[in-house]
Amino acid sequence: MEGRIAKKDPIRWLALPGIVIVALVTQIPFIATVVLSFVRWIIIRPDQGIQFVGFQNFLHVFQTKDTYVVIGNTVVIMLASLVLCTVLGTCLAIMLNRDFPGVHIVRTLIILPFFVMDAVAGIIWKTLILNPSFGFNYYISHWLGVEPIDFFGSHAIITIIMLIVWQWTPFFFLIILAGFQGIPADIVESAKVDGANAWRRLISIELPSIRNHIQVAVMLGLIFILKVFGIIYVTTTGGPGVLSSNLPFYAYRVAFNGWNVGNSAVLSVISVAITLLLIIWLYRFMNRRTGEAD
């Protein structure tokens, strides 16, 4: 142990700038949002002014049927995407965790979708690829002699999940690959010497070593995927109806079409609450499983 360090270590002050910036930039807006959720302020009606209305906004939001559909969508999208991304990302990382000519190129190709602005990626998918009138979808279906699939129709939410997984798997891939690459080579070597084959090594050594990294990827992925907005905005606009809307998109509609600052703030607060609950649960779940390892 580092016994030579005094009780109140001055080194702690080093964390302060980071803490201060993060606290200022993230907590103040959050407090403002919470305050605004108790206010009625319709921006395009300045004659109605800004009034304090207590819990009225909350009541109103919770009495709207759409709210529940949207919350459901948010959770479904998040869970499905998270599972798929983790599995896909890990598989890809395992596959590309070796050296072969051109491995760097393949890795870069895999990460590429993550580098493009999500709105642009959405437009490319919607227009050039999946469009049933002039995209690849149309021409391939024509060639196969079938009706082009309406990707953004009643099952729009599945398409959205597909696009989110496509864009976020590279994120998982990157973190998990970094984890694999961080495993000390001599540990792997000694396992080889002990006669363990590739599969055994994977199960007993490599996967356990990256537990931390998978945890990081999943936690961060959860937060980011819950906040996804750009893809939905440019492809389905949350439709049909609200079938493919998540909380951020719905909050956007309320804020910039309804100009209803109060209700939009309520939706943001709900979003934070749900995310927080899920994160806490996930954190405990993962720590319980890795309880001994640390």
Task: Return the residues of window 174-203 that contact another protein according to CB under 8 A.
Answer: 174-175, 177-179, 181-186
Determine, following the binding rule CB under 8 A, whether residue 53 of this chain makes contact with another protein: no
Determine, following the binding rule CB under 8 A, whether residue 160 of this chain makes contact with another protein: no
Q: Interaction with another protein in 12-51: which residues (CB under 8 A)?
A: 12-15, 17-19, 21-30, 32-33, 36, 42-48
Q: Is the dihedral of CA 137, 141, 146, 147 positive or negative?
A: positive
Least distance to another protein, CB of residue 1, Å: 9
Determine, following the binding rule CB under 8 A, whether residue 281 of this chain makes contact with another protein: no
What lies within 8 Å, CB to CB, of 79 at 6+ separation is: none
The beta strands (E) that lie in the chain are given as 39-41, 50-52
Contact string (CB under 8 A) for another protein, positions 62-91, x = contact: ------------------------------
Contact string (CB under 8 A) for another protein, positions 135-154, x = contact: xx-xx--x-----x-xxxxx
Contact string (CB under 8 A) for another protein, positions 100-139, x = contact: xxxxxxxxxxxxxxxxxxxxxx-xxxxxxx-xxxxxx-xx
Q: Is the dihedral of CA 45, 48, 51, 56 positive or negative?
A: negative
Least distance to another protein, CB of residue 202, Å: 16
Residue 78, token pair as written in the block:
């998040």
CA distance 218 to 84: 11
Residue recorded with tokens 């609200």 = 242
By CB under 8 A, which span of 76-84, 196-204, 271-279 interacts with another protein?
A: 271-279
Output 54 or 153, the one with its CB closest to another protein. Answer: 153
Residue 218, token pair as written in the block:
């999943």
Determine, following the binding rule CB under 8 A, whether residue 221 of this chain makes contact with another protein: no
Determine, following the binding rule CB under 8 A, whether residue 268 of this chain makes contact with another protein: yes
Q: Residue 41 in 3-state DSSP?
A: strand
Determine, following the binding rule CB under 8 A, whether residue 283 of this chain makes contact with another protein: yes
DSSP string, 63-74: T-HHHHHHHHHH
Least distance to another protein, CB of residue 29, Å: 5
Residue 21, token pair as written in the block:
């910036």
Least distance to another protein, CB of residue 164, Å: 14
In this chain, which of 53, 75, 207, 212 binds another protein, going by CB under 8 A? 212
Least Cα distance to 266 among 43, 44, 54, 72 occurs for 54
By CB under 8 A, which span of 77-85, 194-202, 237-245 interacts with another protein?
A: 237-245
Backbone angles phi, psi at 184, to 5 degrees: -60, 130
In terms of Cβ atoms closer than 10 Å to its own Cβ (0-12, 13-18, 19+), residue 241 is: exposed
Output 17 or 195, the one with its CB closest to another protein. Answer: 17
- Yes or no: say if 191 and 199 are a contact pair by the CB < 8 Å rule: no
